[in-house]
């Protein structure tokens, strides 16, 4: 198989974990006889420094001419004081918008062998394997009006939780399709006892569910979902929810794994071009030290191989290799303690390649 992959390393540890991803992809190409062509693009702070633009047109063109996009991370203290239009994050937001990446998939898997790093008890974590499907282009973060106003000496502010039926339909459809490939259960999270948008969300979820009789649909209020994620995370298979609810719940769920360095993500569009990136940021505190955990990025590569290229066997090989490496007691600094020596980023990538 021949594929073209756009590589956007970005800033900070984004660059380091991207090197690991490329290393891993080369090894897969060789082993399974595929051809991956890499095209590098600038994004974020580095792009601002070199071109004055957090998302140069050239980068967008490279992405659009590729079969998939792999992103490291953007941002860092160097650009924190920049004016709004010259912030690294602007580049990523614009890229999401330009590629219409409406579904953010964040799988959360608890590995027994690193459970000691989670604040939750090992027996609660055992067997946790869930997928959060967060709506990414609508909801509370994009509804209009979103503004401040002054009236009769009183200051007020408003944000709007807005959805079209179509927007809800496409994200719920995505969740059901994914559930079909998993344990066939969708938990639709809303606040239907209070919000009109949630009542419509629930209606649409019911309608979509009628087309998937083999998949179980459960509704759950978001406050209860936040509690259940800690009390008994095993009950979840696919969680689908509104933009902000998904933002909050997925950060909460990251603690089921023990480190931000463990979580991959995929952002899907309705076209065949999707983007894959680790959930973590550029981690300026450890940038350049060769100690970042590359696992979130390697698992993002696995998601790319599965979702964009249908390379199930190769994706499984990466995931199993990661599991194997943890089982053999090897960890990077974020997960290490006095009982575990800590591996560098590069050493961790080598371990995973070897296990694969």
Q: Is 250 in the site for ligand ATP (CB under 6 A)?
A: no
The answer to the question of whether 296 is labelled as a binding residue is no
The answer to whether 94 is a known catalytic residue is no
Q: Is 104 in the site for ligand ATP (CB under 6 A)?
A: no
| CB-based contacts of 63, cutoff 8 Å, min separation 6 | 6, 8, 41, 69, 95, 99, 273, 275
The answer to the question of whether 80 is labelled as a binding residue is yes
The answer to whether 121 is a known catalytic residue is no
Find the shortest distance in angstroms from Cβ 281 to Mg ion.
4
Residue 216 and residue 234: Cα distance in Å, rounded? 16
The answer to the question of whether 39 is labelled as a binding residue is no
Q: Which is nearer to Mg ion, 216 or 251 (CB)?
A: 251
Binding mask 295-324 for ligand ATP (x = CB under 6 A): -x----------------------------
The one catalytic residue among 4, 15, 129, 141? 141
The answer to whether 237 is a known catalytic residue is no
The answer to whether 247 is a known catalytic residue is yes
Q: Is 9 in the site for ligand ATP (CB under 6 A)?
A: no
Residue 84 and residue 201: Cα distance in Å, rounded? 33
Give phi and psi for 186, each to the nearest 5: -115, 125
Query: CA–CA distance from 340 to each of 64, 113, 126, 177, 324 (Å)?
Result: 43, 12, 21, 40, 15
Per the CB < 8 A criterion, the answer to whether 272 and 2 are in contact is no
Residue 127 and residue 114: Cα distance in Å, rounded? 13
Find the shortest distance in angstroms from Cβ 229 to ligand ATP.
20
Among 293, 301, 303, 348, binds ligand ATP (CB under 6 A): 293
Neighbours of 190 (CB within 10 A): 23
Among 109, 198, 254, 282, binds ligand ATP (CB under 6 A): 282
Contact region with ligand ATP (CB under 6 A), list: 104-112, 121-129, 277-285, 305-313: 277-285
Among 124, 195, 260, 347, binds ligand ATP (CB under 6 A): 260
The answer to the question of whether 77 is labelled as a binding residue is yes
Q: Is 283 in the site for ligand ATP (CB under 6 A)?
A: yes
Per the CB < 8 A criterion, the answer to whether 64 and 273 are in contact is yes
Residue 150, by phi and psi: left (phi above 0), alpha (psi -120 to 50) or beta? beta
Chain residues binding Mg ion by CB under 5 A are 281
282 contact, one of Mg ion, ligand ATP, none, CB 5-8 Å limit per kind: ligand ATP
Residue 110 and residue 124: Cα distance in Å, rounded? 10
Residue 314 and residue 26: Cα distance in Å, rounded? 12
The tokens describing 303, both together, are: 């998601």
Find the shortest distance in angstroms from Cβ 301 to Mg ion.
21
The one catalytic residue among 11, 53, 190, 247? 247
CA-based nearest residue to 55, from 16, 103, 89, 18 = 89
Query: CA–CA distance from 256 to each of 36, 77, 227 (Å)?
Result: 33, 28, 13
The answer to whether 338 is a known catalytic residue is no
Find the shortest distance in angstroms from Cβ 60 to Mg ion.
23
The one catalytic residue among 191, 237, 330, 334? 191
The answer to the question of whether 249 is labelled as a binding residue is no
Q: Is 280 in the site for ligand ATP (CB under 6 A)?
A: yes
Query: CA–CA distance from 45 to each of 14, 78, 223, 284 (Å)?
Result: 11, 8, 37, 12
75 contact, one of ligand ATP, Mg ion, none, CB 5-8 Å limit per kind: ligand ATP
Active site residues: 141, 191, 223, 247, 251
- Contacts with ligand ATP, residue ranges (CB under 6 A): 13, 73, 75, 260-261, 280-283, 285-286, 292-293, 296, 334
Return binding residues for substrate: 96, 106, 134, 223
Return binding residues for Mg(2+): 223, 247, 251
């Amino acid at each position: 198989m021949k594929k073209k992959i756009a590589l956007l390393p970005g800033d900070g540890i984004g660059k380091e974990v991207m090197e690991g991803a490329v290393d891993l992809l080369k090894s897969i190409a060789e082993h399974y006889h595929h051809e991956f062509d890499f095209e590098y693009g600038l994004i974020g702070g580095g792009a601002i420094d070199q071109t004055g633009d957090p998302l140069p047109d050239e980068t967008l063109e490279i992405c659009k001419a590729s079969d998939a996009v792999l992103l490291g991370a953007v941002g860092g203290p160097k650009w924190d004081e920049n004016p709004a239009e010259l912030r690294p994050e602007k580049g990523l937001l614009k890229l999401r918008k330009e590629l219409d990446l409406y579904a953010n998939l964040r799988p959360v898997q608890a590995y027994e062998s690193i459970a000691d790093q989670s604040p939750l008890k090992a027996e609660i974590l055992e067997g946790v394997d869930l997928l959060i499907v967060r709506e990414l282009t609508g909801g509370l973060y994009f509804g209009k009006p979103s503004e401040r106003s002054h009236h009769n000496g009183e200051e007020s502010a408003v944000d709007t939780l807005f959805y079209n039926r179509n927007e809800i339909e496409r994200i719920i459809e995505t969740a059901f399709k994914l559930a079909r490939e998993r344990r066939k259960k969708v938990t639709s999270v809303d606040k239907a006892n209070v919000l009109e948008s949630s009542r419509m969300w629930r209606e649409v979820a019911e309608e979509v569910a009628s087309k998937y009789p083999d998949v179980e649909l459960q509704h759950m209020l978001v406050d209860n979902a936040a509690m259940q994620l800690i009390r008994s995370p095993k009950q979840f298979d696919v969680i689908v929810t509104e933009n902000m609810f998904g933002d909050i719940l997925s950060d909460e769920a990251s603690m089921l794994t023990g480190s931000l360095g463990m979580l991959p993500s995929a952002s899907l569009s309705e076209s065949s071009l999707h983007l894959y990136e680790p959930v973590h940021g550029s981690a300026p505190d450890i940038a350049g030290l060769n100690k970042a955990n590359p696992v979130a990025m390697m698992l993002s590569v696995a998601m790319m191989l599965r979702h964009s290229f249908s390379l199930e066997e190769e994706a499984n090989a990466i995931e199993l290799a990661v599991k194997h490496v943890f089982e053999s007691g090897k960890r990077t600094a974020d997960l290490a303690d006095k009982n575990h020596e800590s591996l560098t980023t590069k050493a961790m990538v080598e371990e995973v390649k070897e296990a694969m």
